Chains A and B, each alone.
Chain A
Amino acid sequence: MSLSLSYLKYLRDISRKMVFRAGFDLVFPGTSRNPDCLSLMIESRDAAWFSRASDESKKSDRKIFFGIGTLTGKFKQVNGRNKKIAAPLFLAQVTIDPEGMIAFIHKDSLSLNYDIVQYLLKTTVKDEEAENIDFNNPDLVTLRHLLDGIADRASRLILPDEIRVTGYKIAGSQVAELIDSTLGDFKTINPSFSCSQIPDFQTRSQLIQASRQDSTNATNSCFFFSGKFPD
């Protein structure tokens, strides 16, 4: 019985650590590889966006997500290439009610954005090379433990059941603290990752502008975005 229990616990934990490679490393218009990608800063009151997002979510392979914390700009990977990122650090799926401009959070879907993590882990490999990664490399083992700690902290984040766009601020200090500690860990993971925390972006244009900078920025901004979910 104890082996079965251990196995179920393993299944449960690993079910939260899936890299979907769903393009969640670039999710803003102008940065995304998907020109239809919709995003909305949480503070914005935009009925048209909710309506569009609702339509978008009807497509079979698309879902709406709540992004917590942002990472924008470029960072240098170990192979010397610059990687552009404009994405949330954490994400959770939401269901949109366009009439009331409410987003219902699927709380147990909250997860670290593993699509970004894979870049930090230096494993942005080509399709045909993925099989050749040496997972037992001691550096990778250490990094994984750090990431596990981040994921664990994120799982303790208290999220509300629903988000109404007007004047909403998600447990601000909690998120800020999480982002802070996460960035610290990211720096440990990848020394070439330089990032200074800056104040919240208030508008989407501020965020897009930041995403075009060469430096990397992180904020505790929250936003919604649509994404292709693997079908």
Chain B
Amino acid sequence: MSTYTALNKLIVQIPNTTSENKLIEDLLSSTLGGEPFTLQSPAISEEQIRQAIKFIPFTLSERQKNSIYQAWTNKISYIQGPPGTGKSHTIAAIMLSAFFLGKKVLLVSQKKAAIDVVQAKVRDLSGGQDALIFISEKPEVKALLRERLSNVLQDVGHDYRHEKLHRSFLNHEKIGSEIKRKREELAELRAQIKRLVGIQRDYYRWNSEFIAARDSFVKTFRTGQIPFAILSNDITSKWLRKLSETGKKRDREVPSLTRCDILSLKALRKKAVKDLGGNPELLDILTPSFELYLSQLVRCCQLYSETSRLTNATHEADDINKYRESYQSMLGEIMELQKKYVASKQSVLIRENLQRSEERENLDSFRTMLRNTNASLIEGRMTHLDYGHLTKIFPLWAGLIRDLGSYLRFDSELFDLVIVDESSQVNIAEVLPAFYRGKSICVVGDQKQLGLNAAGLFALNRQFEDMAWNSHFGRSYSLSSGDEKGLLVSKHSILEFITNPNNNIQAPSSTLNEHFRSVPKLAEFTSQKFYSDEGGLNLMTLVGDKVTRPCFKAIPVDGLREIDELYVPNEIDEALKLLSSIVRDEVWRTDPLLKDHFRNGVRPSLGILSFTTGSNIAINLKLRDDFTEEEIFEYRIFAGTTEEFQGNERNIMILLLGADSTISRSSAFYSDRRRVNVATSRAINFTYLIYGGIPSNFGLLNSYLRFFDIPIEEQNQPIKLVEKYYNWRFDDAKMESEFEGRVYPYLCEFVAKQFPGQPWKVFNQVPSCGKRIDFVLFNPISCRALAIEVDGPDHYDENSTSYTDTHLERESILLRAGWDILHIPYYKWYSNGWLAEKSNKIFCEYLVKLSSELKNRIERAPIVY
């Protein structure tokens, strides 16, 4: 069924006020008639969603969790996903959460690539089973599904189906119990870690306060490094009382001290020397400095006593690293179990819903329908199917928007949620029939990537727009009003419509900001140029040796653009030469610019993105002439325009500008921020920019070139690269405590001693993943990097209501990005109120252990490709 027919069916419903779909009815009447739009979905509790999220077999960031929550609690929600920030991951998570909420989801997109990615993720996350039903008009896709459904029907088609259901159910229960047991263990481990982090934090806070008081005392009275007495709370109170009394005596109007006072002060002085370790020479009872000295000394002793009391508790924290490791390992086990849990849930659903013969016949009819190619025959067969039942067996469906009608009947509210991926390229007319099949919608996309407006072909369609508009609205509603509200098919995507501030919708939005796709320098351009107003992206690839890999090369070629055909022949020739060297000479194994990216020996995927359709046609023709189908398949070579590349990514991207230095009148096209954002963010590892010339008024492209203007000699010096471009360096001014000041030389000494002759570097306050890592041990030659976390203010965020959760979330983010982290506990480095010396036996023993731990970690630190 085409969009045209589907909309016709809606048109029949509306005037008879028999609209079966409340969502569409409300959406239109609210936008066009100004009536209020109620966002809230039918009741689904936060707790239900929280429980469902717990079963998703991978870790999610807080923003991803929030996106899932919003999708289930609102009739319309929006997930903004800048390039490489895990849109597909989040969609897969929403879909899997539906399993555990007893809900049904339909995913639609214009781009098959977008659906392929989600399908692969869902398959991987559900133990390799196809939990998602994907159908298209393509015969081979239908054949695959038919085969799968045949297997399902065969499975339930004999006499033992009840026993099988029973076994599935038991298996599901068994896995569920195992998960529950492990979760309890995990919760215990988490509680232990939280408790021990709490102890460390308390120690850190008291000791920091003590050090501040101690340093002030030492500075004021030039005492040198003295030991401090441990006082009980009672004794401290007595000292404070005494000092208050003597202070009052000295403040009397007649300031002379009586003999009795002097005797009393002398006794106090003697006691201070004996009990507090005060310096008799500095305790001059005749001056007010006596009280000042004593009050500061008592304060130091009081704080020192607190830290000493906590020191005993910190011994428990010696095992925190073991707990951390156990926690991560347990988490991995649970994730694996949860994949099995999803698979077993699917198995139960299938067997449970195919016990009766009419249920099996319904599925079989659906399977048979997939054989049909005649559209009217398919439509006829659909009328006899029970889609409510089909979606009960398989709650997760996906399809290309234009293919939906060939297998999904036009039934209202068949799904609880309809998700639209790459929604900035989906027009309102085509998506409305998909919405009709849902109760709520979640729009996924990015307003900062290409919309319909950017594509020239939609501009051409606008010629028919006013005619169609005026013929139906007459004077009752002007085209410009429709334009203001984002209602025009050729101009506004569904994303622009939903997010239009002139409408009453106000859908809640959630922005994903952890970038996982491109090597950091490529991602940094995207972050700085296009997302800085939103705080930038957290570059989760700013990890280990990825920072030193070259990732960009500009190749200027001479030659002018063909006037009629919109391409520069030399660009095409250069691109083909480059492709040939990669595909046939396999330079990705040997070229210094590429080889580090592909050390694992896996062939890179290749993309050729053309800014103009002329370049795209020219390169596609040559591709087919010059390369075999096998080569195109093996390297997944795809050549397309920027519009076609949205939603796609490749390891190596070749950008063809189709421009020369004389085309300055095309500045608006080449400076379109959305276009340049998409074009420059497609590469995972490396981008080649081939261009005939760039006029000086192409601001954005010129700044792109400048951003990557790295002299070749610097590209061969990794340390220089990380220092200059990622601000990885050692900066004494960024040392936050005397403790860090002691750890740093220790680390330097350690690498020099343990790995002599190797180019290890120690950096501090290293920016990565939107955080700062205290220290990073980095070897650009061996490609190993280790994060060292020491206790400090970053770890115990005072503004956070739950500092231990914040601490663990920080750790989780760094681990998710691929860092190996070693924690160095603060309390281990203190003795008697001062930083421990190597002569201290206990400290020395600790350093031996630390050294061994560091060595092990460095040797096992993963090389991340």
Contacts and interface: CB of A to CB of B under 8 A. Distances in A.
A16 interface: yes
B3 A5 contact: no
B472 A36 contact: no
Contacts of A104: 373-375, 377
A109 interface: yes
Interface in A108-159: 108-109, 114, 118, 121, 123, 125-131, 133, 135, 140-141, 144-145, 147-148
Given A6-B472, A8-B7, A161-B374, A128 B32 contact: no
Given A12-B4, A15-B3, A35-B624, A130 B456 contact: yes
B2 A3 contact: no
B138 A60 contact: yes
Contacts of A129: 456, 666, 669
B702 interface: no
Which of B25, B374, B473 counts the most A-chain CB atoms under 10 A from its CB?
B374
Nearest to A130: B456
A162 interface: yes
Interface string B351-378: 0000000000000000000000111110
A194 interface: no
A35 B25 CA distance: 47
A15 B430 contact: yes
Chain B contact residues, majority secondary structure: helix
Nearest to A137: B463
A114 B477 CA distance: 27
Contact of B4 (A5, A10, A15, A20): A15
Nearest to B29: A4
A5 B666 CA distance: 41
Interface in B594-621: 611-614, 617, 620-621
Nearest to B375: A106
B463 to A, nearest CB: 6
Interface in B609-663: 611-614, 617, 620-621, 624-625, 644
Contacts of B620: 34
B43 interface: no
Contacts of B586: none
A7 interface: yes
A9 interface: yes
Interface in B462-484: 462-469, 471-473, 476-477
Contact of A133 (B138, B459, B625): B459
Given A12-B7, A95-B374, A127-B566, A144 B464 contact: yes
B interface residue count range (under 10 / 10 to 19 / 20 to 34 / 35 or more)? 35 or more
Contacts of A81: 564
B255 interface: no
Contact of B375 (A13, A19, A107, A114): A107
A46 interface: no
A57 interface: yes
Contact of A95 (B4, B373, B472): B373
B407 to A, nearest CB: 13
Contacts of B476: 2-3, 6
Contacts of B471: 13
B534 interface: no
A10 B473 contact: yes
A interface residue count range (under 10 / 10 to 19 / 20 to 34 / 35 or more)? 35 or more
A27 interface: no
A129 B670 CA distance: 11
A78 to B, nearest CB: 15
Interface stretch (B9-17, B728-736, B753-761): B9-17
Contacts of A198: none
Contacts of B377: 104
B712 interface: no
A118 B14 CA distance: 34
A18 interface: yes
B716 to A, nearest CB: 38
Contact of B17 (A1, A10, A125): A1
Nearest to A95: B373
B375 A128 contact: no
A11 B463 contact: no
B617 A127 contact: no
A5 B428 CA distance: 15
A114 B461 CA distance: 9
Contacts of B624: 35-36
Nearest to B613: A127
A19 B457 contact: yes
B33 interface: yes
Contacts of B11: 5, 8-9, 12
B139 A1 contact: no
A162 B372 CA distance: 13
Contacts, number: 186
B104 interface: no
Given A1-B17, A5-B14, A131-B668, A10 B472 contact: yes
B254 interface: no
A11 B373 contact: no
Interface string B744-770: 000000000000000000000000000
Nearest to A151: B464
Nearest to B14: A5
B97 interface: no
Contacts of B842: none
B666 A10 contact: no
B487 A7 contact: yes
Contacts of B8: 12
B112 interface: yes
A36 B624 CA distance: 9
A108 B432 CA distance: 17
Contacts of B617: 23, 33
A144 B469 CA distance: 13
A21 interface: yes
Contacts of A215: none
A65 B10 CA distance: 27
B375 A126 contact: no
A214 interface: no
Nearest to B17: A1
Contacts of B429: 11-12, 14-15
A128 B10 contact: no
Which of A9, A11, A133, A135 counts the most B-chain CB atoms under 10 A from its CB?
A11
Nearest to B642: A127
A16 B25 CA distance: 23
Contacts of B613: 21, 127
A44 interface: no
Which of A129, A131, A231 counts the most B-chain CB atoms under 10 A from its CB?
A231
B472 A13 contact: yes
Contacts of B14: 1, 4-5, 8
Given A60-B112, A121-B463, A126 B666 contact: yes
B633 to A, nearest CB: 12
A7 B28 contact: yes
B294 to A, nearest CB: 80
Interface in A177-196: none
A17 interface: yes
A169 B89 CA distance: 52
A68 interface: no
A148 B139 contact: no
Contacts of A144: 463-464, 467
Contacts of B473: 3, 6-7, 10
Contact of B138 (A7, A58, A106, A108): A58
* 5 closest residue pairs by CB, A with B: A128-B669, A130-B456, A12-B7, A4-B28, A130-B459
22 contacts: A4-B28, A8-B432, A10-B473, A15-B2, A21-B457, A35-B621, A57-B138, A60-B112, A95-B374, A95-B375, A104-B377, A106-B2, A106-B375, A108-B1, A121-B463, A123-B460, A127-B613, A128-B669, A128-B670, A130-B456, A133-B463, A231-B112
Given A15-B3, A148-B467, 16 more contacts: A1-B17, A7-B28, A11-B432, A12-B11, A18-B461, A57-B138, A63-B137, A97-B373, A104-B375, A106-B375, A127-B614, A128-B612, A128-B668, A130-B456, A133-B462, A147-B464
